Amino acid sequence: MLLSIKSKKKSSLNSHIFNKADQLHKALQQERAAGKTIGFVPTMGALHDGHRSLVLRALAENDIVVCSIFVNPTQFNNLSDFQKYPHTEEKDIQLLNSINCRYVFIPSVDEMYLEDPKLLELNFGALENTMEAEFRPGHFKGVATIVDRLFKIVLPHNAYFGEKDFQQLAIIRSMSVQMKHEVNIIACSTLREEDGLAMSSRNLLLNNDQRKAAALIYQGLRKAQEFIPHQSVDAVRTLVIRYIEQSPLLRVQYFNFVDPITLENINSWNKNDDVQGCIAVLTEGPRLIDNINYIIE
């Protein structure tokens, strides 16, 4: 089913919304046959400026851009988290139309899983044995399965992902290699609010007090740089956790210093090393994640 959605803003091109995978695939095959390059931005909706920046970059680097909106149930290990995830489809379509995103794919759960309801069984090694995987069992199987499915439908030349979901990005890169997808995985910098909080659809679920407190997460990550490499890894980790947990509304679930490629834990500082600090913080509302890169001097 192909629909044309008119934007409230003037636009030279209306977005086309597809609900069926085979119809989208056929339309994109025609674009490929015409020599067009295809950029792809997969999302779970509730779009914000971070998503907008991904689409704009894709538009700048490709002839055609596809944005998918699909809240994938298999990557939620908590049913209530899935049920509470924000849905703002009408606003999402308006945003995408306003920036001339050519194709929008909004499938149902049945459409995405009807052909093969089984999850991918891939070996991600150490990538799936730490951080998010420890606290969200099965999460990355769900992510890998749906992104694999989306890649097969869209067949993009380039796919764009935000670095906020740092571990997920590593998983998707690994999945793409193992499944032999011919696509460039392009990482895009995290966009932040004025107070430093990483932009996220989950931020919509924060109440006013939680939202104010959440600014401590990025402040804490930045503060670590003051102590690296003069104090031990464990000492810096403790200092950052204490700083964030000065708010009774926040509790750090994990804060790890890891190798940006392998995600293996860093236990000591070595000059000129590239280190990623990855964190997950619990509120009484949504769970928030963030990360920051440190160069050891």
Region 217-235: mean pLDDT is 97
What is the biggest distance separating any 2 CA atoms in the chain, rounded to whole angstroms? 60
Q: What is the tens place of the pLDDT at every residue in 16-44?
A: 999 999 999 999 999 999 999 999 999 99
pTM over 0.85: yes
Residue 67: per-residue pLDDT: 98
| Strand order from edge to edge, sheet including 251-258 | 251-258, 274-282, 287-295
Region 269-293: mean pLDDT is 96
Residue 14: per-residue pLDDT: 74
* Residue 238 near residue 264 (C-beta atoms within 8 A): no
Half-sphere exposure of 30 (CA within 13 A, CB side): 5
Residue 205 pLDDT level (bands cut at 50, 70, 90): very high
DSSP assignment of 201-214, as one string?
GGGGG--HHHHHHH
Res. 262: pLDDT tops 70: yes
* Residue 166 near residue 194 (C-beta atoms within 8 A): no
In terms of C-beta density within 10 A (0-12 exposed, 13-18 middle, 19 or more buried), how is residue 271 classed?
exposed
* Rounded-to-5 percentages of helix, strand, coil across the chain: 40, 20, 40
12 vs 38 pLDDT, higher one:
38
The chain-wide mean pLDDT, for the chain, equals 93
Q: What is the tens place of the pLDDT at every residue in 113-168?
A: 986 678 999 999 999 999 999 999 899 999 999 999 999 999 999 999 999 999 99
Res. 192: pLDDT tops 90: yes
What are the sequence ranges of the domains in the chain? 2-188, 201-292
Q: Is the peptide bond before 229 cis (omega within 30 degrees of 0)?
A: yes
Residue 8: per-residue pLDDT: 32
Q: What is the tens place of the pLDDT at every residue in 58-114?
A: 999 999 999 999 999 999 988 888 999 999 999 999 999 999 999 999 999 999 998
Q: Which of 125, 123, 174, 115 shows the shortest CA–CA distance to 149?
A: 115
> What architecture is domain 2-188?
3-Layer(aba) Sandwich (3.40)
Residues forming beta bridges with residue 69, ordered by sequence position: 43
Residues with catalytic roles: 51
The H helix count followed by the E strand count for the chain is 10, 10
Residues forming beta bridges with residue 265, ordered by sequence position: 258
> What architecture is domain 201-292?
2-Layer Sandwich (3.30)
* The domains spanning 2-188 and 201-292 adopt the same CATH topology: no
Give me the phi and psi of 51, to 5 degrees please. Answer: -60, -40
* Residue 283 near residue 210 (C-beta atoms within 8 A): yes
Residue 9: per-residue pLDDT: 36
